[in-house]
Amino acid sequence: MSLSPYASPVPALHREVKRRRSFAIISHPDAGKTTLTEKFLLYGGALTLAGSVTARKNQRATTSDWMELEKQRGISVSSTVLQFEYNDCVVNILDTPGHKDFSEDTYRVLTAVDAAVMVVDAGKGIESQTRKLFEVCRRRGVPIFTFMNKLDRPARPSLDLLDELESVLGIHAFPLNWPLGDGPRFRGVYDREHKQVHLFERTVHGAYRAPVSVKGIEDPAVKDAMEEATYRQVCDELELLEGAGADFDIAAVLAGKLTPVFFGSAANNFGVQLLLDRFLALAPPPLPRTSGGGQRIDPAAAGFSAFVFKIQANMNPKHRDRVAFIRIVSGKFERDMNVLNTRSGERVRLANSQRLFARDRETVDDAFAGDVVGLVGNYDLLIGDTLADSPEVAFDEIPRFAPECFAYLHNKSTAKYKRFRDGLQQLLKEGVASEFQLLDSGGAQVPLLGAVGPLQFEVLQYRLEGEYAAETRLENATWSIARWLRPLEGDPLAPEARPGLSLGTVLARDSNGWLVALLPSEWALKTFTDKNDDWLVSEQPFAPPPGMSKG
């Protein structure tokens, strides 16, 4: 009996897998996530001059915010993949939107990473979106490293920030470095592991590597650089931390029970290289994953497998291109390889494979588990699809979330209807919004869209006009809840008897044909479930029956 090609590691592959570090940067909006991403690229040698979200118009924009709307508004609305090599590590950074309206995109990205860096504004502490993203990481068992940012501004007491990590998020914290003051008194950080002080100087817009001076805490230059009261306070806090007697436990970090904490200022490059170096040393390489059938997939095994976690249209404005981002789970990717789409059962030749650096690209000839590859072209791929050598491998990694906002999207020009419809279908495949068809409406319908947040509709309209020259008008609908339905008996696609409807509730089909109830309020939902105890009601779509395409 032969062993599965997904079970046993191959030594040559194992060496490459060990070099990979794939992680996401998560935070509440405006905590400095995109700025930290840019500074990682700077210290990793991928950039010589870093951009700034708040820089003036004549300065370059951040590398990770490539979309025009992002540059105008100074926020991230689309996840970005950035890859570079540093200290014999192949680093895959997945920068994610911080705004809550784009949390679904962030959640999908978190399925493709092996660790996360959580950015916290040291002046504000743990905020709502940080809590939500942390919980997603916790449920997936993703190790979390914490960066307390903006120490160059007035900050909350550092010990209070540590306490908040434990009391609010329920995770133990171990500071690997410690700040020397905050705001205008901020002078750098103390590396607890090597017992060294790193003093920093400000640079213009934090655009270049900050000068670093390494000295011990007792060095007269350290005392001279700080106010006497600040120096005494730092020494007292360090003595308190050492007196607590807790040892750093890497096993607890990898299990998601302990978060290493770093302090600094991404905007001014304070503590960024300390974070990058220690993170790459401590973060895990790609680990085994489990296929939907329970098969354990070793990342260094010979059998190839990957899944689609993101689709992005029109990253190149000169072409109507479409990029499907895949996370490689096992084996070696080779350009022109022929693999199976286990959803459709069709073979796919992966000819146009590219490595993305924001909007910039280069051809990828080979890649390994942990890497992210962009497949450019009109591949019939959907978010969540598995590509593999074997039809028995299928990953069920991608979560879906019920929309909370609904609107009709009207096309303003009948002469441009084809542009409107083609553009809308392309953007919907990215997962920005979902389309629903009301039952019994008869004839053609104005598209009814659902999204997690209203800003998604704004982005959709902006991109339809900018990328497809299709102007639209939005008409808000009254529903705020979507629930997928399945009868306890019978075919879910053709229920024999319709459920009873509460006031203001309608029935619709999603893009996969599944039955959905759209409801205006929690009261309507309670009434609906009370009336229909012979139906299953779910916040997520039900899995398709065996052999049925989910597309």
Model confidence pLDDT, tens digit, residues 474-529: 999 999 999 999 888 776 656 667 888 888 999 999 988 889 999 999 999 999 99
User: Lowest-pLDDT range, 21-35, 55-69, 174-188, 261-275?
Assistant: 55-69
Percent of the chain with pLDDT over 70: 85
What is the rounded average pLDDT of the residues 217-226?
Answer: 90
Q: What is the CATH number of domain 289-388?
A: 2.40.30.10
**Residue keyed to tokens 């690209």:** 361
What is the Cα–Cα distance from 524 to 445, expressed in whole angstroms? 25
pLDDT of residue 74: 45
In degrees, rounded to 5, the angle at the alpha carbon of residue 306 between the alpha carbons of residues 302 and 311 is 160
pLDDT of residue 326: 95
Nearest to 103 by CA among 136, 152, 151: 136
CB 314 within 8 A of CB 464: no
* Structural tokens at position 411: 């096309």
328-370 pLDDT tens trace: 999 999 999 999 999 999 999 999 998 866 567 789 999 999 9
pLDDT of residue 313: 75
pLDDT of residue 78: 46
What would you report as the CA-atom Rg of the chain, rounded to the nearest whole angstrom? Answer: 25
pLDDT of residue 18: 97
What is the Cα–Cα distance from 189 to 191, expressed in whole angstroms? 6
Task: Quickly state the pLDDT bin for 75 (edges 50, 70, 90).
Answer: very low
Element (H, E) at 95: strand 89-95
149 against 214, higher pLDDT: 149
Query: DSSP string of 99-167?
Result: SGGGHHHHHHHHTT-SEEEEEEETTT-S-HHHHHHHHHHHHHT--EEEEEE-TTS----HHHHHHHHHH
319 against 193, higher pLDDT: 193
SS3 445: coil
* Extents of the domains making up the chain: 18-282, 289-388, 405-538
113-140 pLDDT tens trace: 999 999 999 999 999 888 888 888 888 8
Superfamily classification of domain 18-282? P-loop containing nucleotide triphosphate hydrolases (3.40.50.300)
Whether 234 shows a pLDDT value over 80: the answer reads yes
Question: What's the pTM value of the predicted model, to 2 decimals?
Answer: 0.80
Task: Quickly state the pLDDT bin for 97 (edges 50, 70, 90).
Answer: low
CATH fold for the domain made of 405-538: Alpha-Beta Plaits (3.30.70)
CB 374 within 8 A of CB 324: yes
501 against 65, higher pLDDT: 501
First-to-last alpha carbon distance for the chain, in angstroms, is 36
205 DSSP assignment:
G
Q: Beta 386-388 vs 305-313: how paired, if at all?
A: antiparallel
pLDDT of residue 55: 35
pLDDT of residue 61: 44
What is the Cα–Cα distance from 417 to 419, expressed in whole angstroms? 5
Average pLDDT, the chain: 85
pLDDT of residue 12: 94
268-277 pLDDT tens trace: 888 999 999 9
Whether 546 shows a pLDDT value over 60: the answer reads no
Task: Quickly state the pLDDT bin for 161 (edges 50, 70, 90).
Answer: very high
Task: Quickly state the pLDDT bin for 156 (edges 50, 70, 90).
Answer: very high
Percent of the chain with pLDDT over 90: 56
pLDDT of residue 432: 78
Task: Quickly state the pLDDT bin for 443 (edges 50, 70, 90).
Answer: low
* Structural tokens at position 119: 């950015």
Whether 465 shows a pLDDT value over 80: the answer reads yes
